[in-house]
């Protein structure tokens, strides 16, 4: 008989690029162990910087061999000289080994129904056969439906969906429906639950507040050159009254980082950090946030109620643009579309940012209820109770 509440939760986070998947998995894992003594959560992650993060008691992270997404959309091994097929085979074998040894009651798969190159497919049916509940976790926006539909068809993702007992969407339908426009298999739509966004916390403040500053964060930084360039160019060309702190991120390209760091060092109102795993502390202290609008940064903007200016990327996915436009329509953020970041316009937007309305000025019921909802859904998944489907 299945336990009343899952005591062993396995989270798969493929992490081919950036920090988003790992940080989302970590937030969920910490929430799951916070009020369940004895529960163990194991994260499988391909992030090359997973070692830099601290995990709560009861949470462990096992590293998968890394892969990197290229600008073209293709992938290669993170390590030089390693064949991608061989790396995927190694990852798949490790996933099978961990699933067998850890014997989870709940398997939460992040974003990719079949995993990277199908690497979780071999464990789905065996885990389900032994009573493990299978859940697909999706961020609020995946991509433009016109791009997502052929991608999922190519990956065979739609055929895998019926294996999952539930799909948890970490957002609100009022902002976006990530599977809209897809021809979902019968019964799948009834298994969708919108949880709300994942509230983030910051450790207790131990440093003096200091002067108000703008926090410029491109997330992991791998595709953040345009954002930082636009901010630095605006400060160089026009007077902006507020100092700005740029946090490059661990994947920011080295050559561009060196060039931009030199320009930042020459400007009296600019400063920079390479990386800070506790970015939440800076977010809480900032007078405003300038970002690309990835999922985790958006959750932090909402959680710490910061005025935000979003400059979304549009390649290789339109995810950030869709999220930014939807959030701007609801008055949660300000956004500049691609091509609107000329120095004069950018400087004006930066100057006005601290005085912009905060997200809380537009109250939306359930907006940040994601983690409590996931705890309830996890509890229900172990009791045999049906999950409440989205309206």
What's the rounded Cα separation, in Å, for the pair 160 and 149?
A: 14
Q: With residue 345 as reference, give the H or E element that holds it.
A: helix 343-352
Q: Is the pLDDT of residue 4 over 90?
A: no
Same domain assignment for residues 228 and 108: no
Is 127 within the bounds of a domain?
yes
Q: What percent of the chain has pLDDT over 90?
A: 72
Is 341 within the bounds of a domain?
yes
Is 232 within the bounds of a domain?
yes
Residue 19: CATH number of its domain? 3.40.50.2000
Is 340 within the bounds of a domain?
yes
Same domain assignment for residues 174 and 245: no
Is 48 within the bounds of a domain?
yes
Pick the more confident residue, 385 or 307.
Answer: 307
Q: With residue 324 as reference, give the H or E element that holds it.
A: helix 319-329
Q: Tokens 């940080």 appear where?
A: 23
Q: Residue 157's closest CA among 189, 126, 183, 131?
A: 183
Burial 285-313 (b: 16+ CB within 10 A, else e): bbbbbbbbbbbbbbbbbbbbebbbbbbbb
Same domain assignment for residues 183 and 324: no
Number of domains in the chain: 2
What's the rounded Cα separation, in Å, for the pair 321 and 337?
A: 8
What's the rounded Cα separation, in Å, for the pair 226 and 282?
A: 22
Same domain assignment for residues 192 and 149: yes
Same domain assignment for residues 257 and 316: yes
Tens digits of residue pLDDT in 17-72: 557 788 899 999 999 999 898 999 999 998 877 777 889 999 999 999 876 655 54
Same domain assignment for residues 28 and 173: yes
What's the pLDDT score for residue 251? 87
Same domain assignment for residues 157 and 239: no
Is 27 within the bounds of a domain?
yes
Banded model confidence at residue 388, pLDDT cuts 50, 70, 90:
very low
Is 320 within the bounds of a domain?
yes
Is 2 within the bounds of a domain?
no
Query: H-type helices in 20-178, by residue range?
Result: 20-34, 84-102, 121-129, 145-155, 157-160
Same domain assignment for residues 135 and 76: yes
The two tokens of residue 78 are 């993170």
Same domain assignment for residues 77 and 139: yes
Q: Is the pLDDT of residue 385 over 60?
A: no
What's the rounded Cα separation, in Å, for the pair 267 and 288?
A: 19
Same domain assignment for residues 139 and 93: yes
Name the average pLDDT for the chain.
89
Q: What is the DSSP string of 87-112?
A: HHHHHHHHHHHHHHHH--SEEEEES-
* Across 240-245, average pLDDT: 96
Q: Tokens 């990835």 appear where?
A: 294
Domain that holds residue 143: 8-199+368-383
Same domain assignment for residues 330 and 349: yes
Q: 167-171, 265-269, 341-345 — which is least confidently predicted?
A: 341-345
What's the pLDDT score for residue 55? 94
Banded model confidence at residue 384, pLDDT cuts 50, 70, 90:
very low
Pick the more confident residue, 75 or 373.
Answer: 373
Same domain assignment for residues 17 and 74: yes
Is the sign of the CA dihedral 139, 369, 53, 10 positive or negative? negative
């Amino acid at each position: 008989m299945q336990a009343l509440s899952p005591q062993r939760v396995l989270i798969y986070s493929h992490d081919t690029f950036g920090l988003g998947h790992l940080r989302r998995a970590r937030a969920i894992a910490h929430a799951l162990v916070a009020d369940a003594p004895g529960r163990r959560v194991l994260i499988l992650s391909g992030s090359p910087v997973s070692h830099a993060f601290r995990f709560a008691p009861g949470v462990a992270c096992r590293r998968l061999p890394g892969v990197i997404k290229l600008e073209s959309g293709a992938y290669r091994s993170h390590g030089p000289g390693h064949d991608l097929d061989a790396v995927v085979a190694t990852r798949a074998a490790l996933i099978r080994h961990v699933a067998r040894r850890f014997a989870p009651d709940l398997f939460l798969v992040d974003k990719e129904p079949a995993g990277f190159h199908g690497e979780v497919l071999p464990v789905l049916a065996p885990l389900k056969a032994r009573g493990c509940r299978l859940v697909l976790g999706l961020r609020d926006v995946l991509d433009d439906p016109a791009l997502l539909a052929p991608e999922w068809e190519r990956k065979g993702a739609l055929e895998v969906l019926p294996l999952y007992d539930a799909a948890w969407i970490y957002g609100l339908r009022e902002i976006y429906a990530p599977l809209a426009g897809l021809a979902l298999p019968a019964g799948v739509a009834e298994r969708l639950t919108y949880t709300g966004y994942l509230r983030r916390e910051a450790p207790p403040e131990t440093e003096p507040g200091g002067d108000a500053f703008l926090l410029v964060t491109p997330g992991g930084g791998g595709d953040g050159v345009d954002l930082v360039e636009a901010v630095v160019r605006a400060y160089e060309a026009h007077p902006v009254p507020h100092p700005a702190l740029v946090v490059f991120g661990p994947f920011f390209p080295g050559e561009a980082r060196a060039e931009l760091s030199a320009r930042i060092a020459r400007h009296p109102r600019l400063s920079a950090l390479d990386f800070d795993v506790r970015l939440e502390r800076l977010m809480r202290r900032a007078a405003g946030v300038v970002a690309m609008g990835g999922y985790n940064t958006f959750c932090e903007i909402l959680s710490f109620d910061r005025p935000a200016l979003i400059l979304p990327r549009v390649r290789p996915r339109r995810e950030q643009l869709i999220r930014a436009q939807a959030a701007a329509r609801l008055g949660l953020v300000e956004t500049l579309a691609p091509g609107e970041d000329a120095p004069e316009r950018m400087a004006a937007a930066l100057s006005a940012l601290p005085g912009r309305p905060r997200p809380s000025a537009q109250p939306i019921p359930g907006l940040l209820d994601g983690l409590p909802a996931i705890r309830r859904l996890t509890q229900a998944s172990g009791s045999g109770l049906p999950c409440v489907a989205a309206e």
